[in-house]
Chains A and B, each alone.
Chain A
Amino acid sequence: MNPRLTTIAAIAVCTASLSLSALIRGDGWLIAGVGAIATVALAGVATRLPMPRGTVVTGLVVLVAAAPLLAGPSWYGPLAALALVALVCVCTVGGKLPRSLAILATYLGCLLIYLNAVFASGASLAVVIPTHHSMSVLSALPGQAFSAFHFAPPIPEYKGVSLTAAAGIGLVATAVDVLAVRLRHPAIAGLPLLVLFSVPVASNLKAFTIGQGFAFAVGLAGFLMLLSSDGRERLRMWGRLVTFRYLRPGEEEVGRDPDTREIAASGRRIGLTAICLAIVVPLIVPTLGAHDLFGISGDGSGGGAGGAGGLDGILGQVQQKLLAKPAPVLTYTTTAKSPAQQYFQVYVLNYDAARNEWLPSASTLRAVAGSRLPAAVPGLTNAIRAATVQTSVVTKGDASGGAYLPVPYAPVRLSVTGAPTGWLELAGSLMLYGGDEPNNLRYTVTSREADPTAAQLQTQALVPSGIQADYGSYRGPDASKLLKIARKETAGAPTAYAEAVDLQRWFRSSGAFSYTLKPKLPDSRGWLLDFLTKDRRGFCQQFAWAFAVLARLLNIPAQIAVGYTAGTPVSNGRWRVTTADAHAWPELYFPNVGWVRFEPTPGGSAGQGTATVPSYAVSPAAGKSGTNPGAPLPTPSATAPAGRANRAAGNRFARLGQPGRGNATAPPGSGFPFAIVLPVLVVLLAAAPRAVRVLSRRKRWLAASGDAGLAHAAWRETIDDLADFGLARTPSESPRAFVRRIAAEEAMSPAASQALARIGAAEERARYASSAPPGAGLPRDVVAVRRAVAASATRSQRLRAWLLPASTLTAVGRGMQRAGGALNWLDMSLPSAARQLRRAVTSRSA
């Protein structure tokens, strides 16, 4: 039992959990989490009960937790459950390892019973006893949470999210309870607490708010409380350290502690060094760029931020699906004219320069009421012909990416059989969020399928400034080199649309790029340039990324959609989509039309099998055409030869001085020349100690004036020289003692010994006598001593003395020490303040 420490540990986890409030909306999860902490604390108390009672409690807990097995239909379920209970009970009286297993079982059992009671009480027996049904309810919830994690935080507080949060907090509480209360290592208990802190930092959280800072401070206070409480417990266990000491008059004996100033000073020095290292090391090591210390807003100007980026993110999931054995995702029937061209979008991603990654853009969620979807289709005006298409979908198995509905763009109405409400739509990207895993859902989507003409796509109208700002620029790595490539491949294209078509043709032209699901690309920021110039092998992930980036460099707003292609027809107008149809494709924004998709990924047998080029972008000549602007562009044959007149007439919106365009040619923060800067930095760093040594020597001799000054300069120079060769002087050593020691230790020539003795004697007189001796010959003596010591040193010692003079490094150490000592006043003021406070309290109570 240790009620005090148990309580403090629980409070520390509670305060640390507050940091999750930046990630999850509402407070239900926090209440559930606090309950989990309390449960774990009680479980901890139970594990520390003396033998017969402890065994009974543990057995009961495991019995209740294993109840679903007991009530199972098969004959071996109850048997296994009873065996488990018996095993755990035996373990409680066993050795170290069995007992720790029993303890772990108690913690986990309690946590499971608690979570079951809170989140699946309806399906439980007598509210608390888990059943088969309640377990299946419980196990279905985390999936919902993991799909919600794709949102930009704070994510809505769904049941699954609350469960995951409470379970996570409960596990952390278990770790803290075991470490701090049972094993009495509260400092290590900081590690599980750190997990709670690191969740918001590691997530997609962009801005560090005051609220977060406050939450962090509160969490930290909880941890400190835990540490101090443990210290107090230790003192209580062992009694207080008593020192006999004569007290000065007026000094109180009460509350006088042992002198810990030295220890405190060491602690401060270690702390200061750790802080300095923590700040400096990530700054100078370019690959450790994950520090959001100075560039938290993530505008991409932070030099070393980001690695290979989002290859592991949502885009990475596409690769996993494509590599896996094909599994059915959905089947559908549609009224579309050409169903093969109808892709199903699940996610829409925007480029995050700070992370060099494509992420779902943070946008407002709108609840779907009725069948009509709340968000307007962005950019699409009535001037554009758009077919209304109805698609009836049945999802199977692991449809899409969790809780998002695969829908053809742009959805305007949705009716879900059996679950008409509870849907959310993300404004802007029109992603549809369902909360529950859309397994075996039946729904009908009505979408507006824009069918623009070439002229409509080549419009001179302005892109809305919001879209241009959010989607129209690229501030990632290698921007200028990529821009050159984009310009080269689209040379001669008169309009943004023509440029896009040219880019698409370049990517799909035979021989230029090849399709592979396992591209060999360097895992670095510069992979895109490698992909476009050297490797040229990839799949939809690389193609979509490259296309979108190049389009953005050409000032065309671009995003990446992730979902499925149209799949393959099966029978009776029914189409089937499998995981082999998972796909990512770029979408470009054109005024009045909105987002339209392009297809840079090669299709057919040598590419993404079911990928199709949309009709409006299908022809290699289409981009350079425009002579037949009135007609739609349904087939390649309908397009006319290129008309270069358009370009002469300046018929493109890109370079007309439109605000927000045309000035992104040299994005900042790109292509920082690490290859040059790093070696230079390394060389500079390596040369710094030597340079400082030479400079300090010169300065010392220049500043020396008078005989005493010369003597001091000669002495310090000699001290430094000898320190460089590993012959350091202790601070308590007088000049005479030091000279005597060096003369005894080092085999120096008589002349050098005499020179050293002269330097020592001069310093001694300069320091302690009333007059200093003449110092004219001292510089010569210093050189003589240095040469003598160097001559007797080994080669490696000489090299070290030359390259890394210890005297310079000690100066740095001294500076650190002084900086650490600057906090000495804390030692003085804190105890006296505490004493005064105590005195005030006692006098008041008296």
Chain B
Amino acid sequence: MVTDTDQHADAALASPSLDELAEVARQVSAAVQTVISGKPEAVRLALTVLLAEGHILIEDVPGVGKTQLAKALARSIDCSVRRVQFTPDLLPSDITGVSAFNQELREFEFKPGPIFANIVLGDEINRASPKTQSALLESMEERQVTVDGTTYPLDRPFMVIATQNPVEMEGTYPLPEAQRDRFMTRISIGYPDRDSELAMLDSHGSSSPLDDLKPVAHASDVRALVLAVRDVHVSAAIRQYIIDLVNATRSAAELRLGASPRAALHLLRASRAYAALDERDFVIPDDVQSLAVPVLAHRLLPSAEAMVSRDMPYQVLSAIVQRLPLPGR
């Protein structure tokens, strides 16, 4: 019997705010889907990460709508959006901002970089030098930027949507494991199905629906929603399940690198948001199972044998999820 309560669950579960959240989420989702049709799960994952205060890595071939998704999400929420096109010559200060000497005031003045926005779109992140990559990733984790000894906190909500192209890898700097670990989820959008692609030709043929997209929620709404998500109840059984899952990746023979404790934390937070999007004030194993691959797969490294037998980490992870018994009966 489950009697445990999460530390956030003692407050009266704000059902109205959950309803509200779901309503807002529906609106945002509908708005985004006018741009990205036929990919509700990718949109839902993006929303989940937004509400769980994480960052997304979208890894896919060119032209499937990575940037469109990021832009649509940013547009449908009335918040600041900045886009950074990562190139090999991009410097860290091009992201964080620089202190410039103001001749009139005769003092140094901080010129904030593109990172100072609610949603930052980092396009082709693997094309930047590791130094620049790490500058971005540091601010992602800390949610603040320090320049010349002064710390500038970033606005909330803050989400980085980074894209990466797995095909053209020449001249790129693939993200090392430590930095991939900072992204809450990695998703790939994939090609649309036949009908969706037909619909896309119709709607995108003359003008971009992105231009017609009107904000349906405000940044302050998102901040409230993030707070509401924190109150979603996570029972002891679910926490145990998450730990079991993470441990299973560490002991699986097919993997030589398992999921980190940060991964467990991300999975927990994402599960909360996922449950909230479902208008539930508690997390169920289905949430964790649905999120296991997007949240964990990009952090795992296959063993040599698995590479030879072409067992990709997401396949191994799916097998683990299917095999791992739920705690209790």
Give chain A's interface residues, CB within 8 Å of chain B.
243-246, 258-259, 708-709, 712, 716, 719, 730-737, 764-770
Contact = CB atoms under 8 A, between A and B. Distances in A.
A732 B328 contact: no
B286 interface: yes
Interface stretch (B136-144, B191-199, B230-238): B230-238
A716 B304 CA distance: 42
B319 to A, nearest CB: 10
A618 B238 CA distance: 94
B326 A732 contact: yes
Contacts of B9: 770
B296 to A, nearest CB: 15
A182 B289 CA distance: 52
B281 to A, nearest CB: 7
A202 B130 CA distance: 79
B64 interface: no
B305 interface: yes
B282 A769 contact: yes
B325 A731 contact: yes
Given A736-B284, A769-B235, A770-B9, A258 B1 contact: no
B299 to A, nearest CB: 13
10 contacts: A244-B256, A708-B3, A732-B321, A733-B326, A734-B326, A736-B286, A764-B284, A768-B238, A769-B233, A770-B13
Given A767-B237, A768-B285, A769-B282, 6 more contacts: A246-B257, A730-B322, A732-B323, A734-B284, A769-B235, A770-B5
Nearest to B3: A708
A369 to B, nearest CB: 76
Contacts of A733: 326
Contacts of A764: 284
Interface in B103-142: none
Interface of B: 1-3, 5, 9, 13, 233, 235, 237-238, 251, 253, 256-257, 281-286, 289, 303-305, 321-326, 328-329
Contact of A768 (B283, B289, B304, B324): B283
Contacts of A734: 284-286, 289, 326
Contacts of B289: 732, 734, 737
A387 to B, nearest CB: 88
Given A732-B321, A767-B2, A768-B237, A259 B326 contact: no
A768 B282 contact: yes
B248 to A, nearest CB: 11
A766 B4 CA distance: 11
A767 B282 CA distance: 10
B309 to A, nearest CB: 13
Contact of B1 (A243, A708, A735, A737): A708
A766 B305 contact: no
A411 to B, nearest CB: 78
A342 B9 CA distance: 105
A770 B1 CA distance: 11
A702 B117 CA distance: 60
Nearest to A765: B282
A712 B237 CA distance: 14
Nearest to B329: A716
Contacts of B1: 708-709, 712, 766-767
Contact of B2 (A245, A735, A768): A768
A258 B284 CA distance: 35
A243 B253 CA distance: 8
- 6 A-B pairs closest in CB distance: A731-B325, A769-B282, A734-B285, A244-B304, A768-B235, A770-B233
Nearest to A706: B1
A704 to B, nearest CB: 10
Nearest to B275: A768
Given A768-B238, A770-B233, A731 B282 contact: no
B20 to A, nearest CB: 20
B284 A768 contact: yes
Contacts of B283: 768
A784 B82 CA distance: 58
Nearest to B304: A244
A243 B305 contact: yes
A245 B235 contact: no
Contacts of A736: 284, 286
Contacts of A246: 256-257
Contact of A767 (B257, B305, B322, B328): B328
Contacts of B5: 770
Contact of B324 (A244, A732, A765): A732
Contacts of A245: 256, 303
A258 B254 CA distance: 12
B253 A258 contact: yes
A769 B289 CA distance: 17
Contacts of B251: 259
Nearest to B235: A768
B282 A770 contact: yes
A504 B250 CA distance: 85
Nearest to A767: B2
A244 B328 CA distance: 34
Contacts of B305: 243-244
Contacts of A716: 329
Nearest to A259: B253
Contacts of A766: 1-2
Contacts of A737: 286, 289
Nearest to B2: A767
Contacts of B321: 732
B310 to A, nearest CB: 16
A808 to B, nearest CB: 15
A246 B257 CA distance: 7
A246 to B, nearest CB: 6
B322 A732 contact: yes
Contact of A769 (B256, B257, B281): B281
B300 to A, nearest CB: 12
Contacts of B238: 768
A17 B113 CA distance: 87
Contacts of B329: 716, 719
A522 to B, nearest CB: 53
B210 to A, nearest CB: 36
A766 B233 CA distance: 12
Nearest to B302: A244
A243 B303 contact: yes
Nearest to B1: A708
A140 B233 CA distance: 90
A314 to B, nearest CB: 62
Nearest to A740: B286
A272 B233 CA distance: 43
Contacts of B235: 767-770
Nearest to B307: A244
Nearest to A734: B285
B278 to A, nearest CB: 10
Contacts of A709: 1
Contacts of B233: 768-770
A732 B257 contact: no
Contacts of A244: 256, 303-305
**Residue among A259, A764, A766, A769 with the most chain B CB within 10 A?**
A769
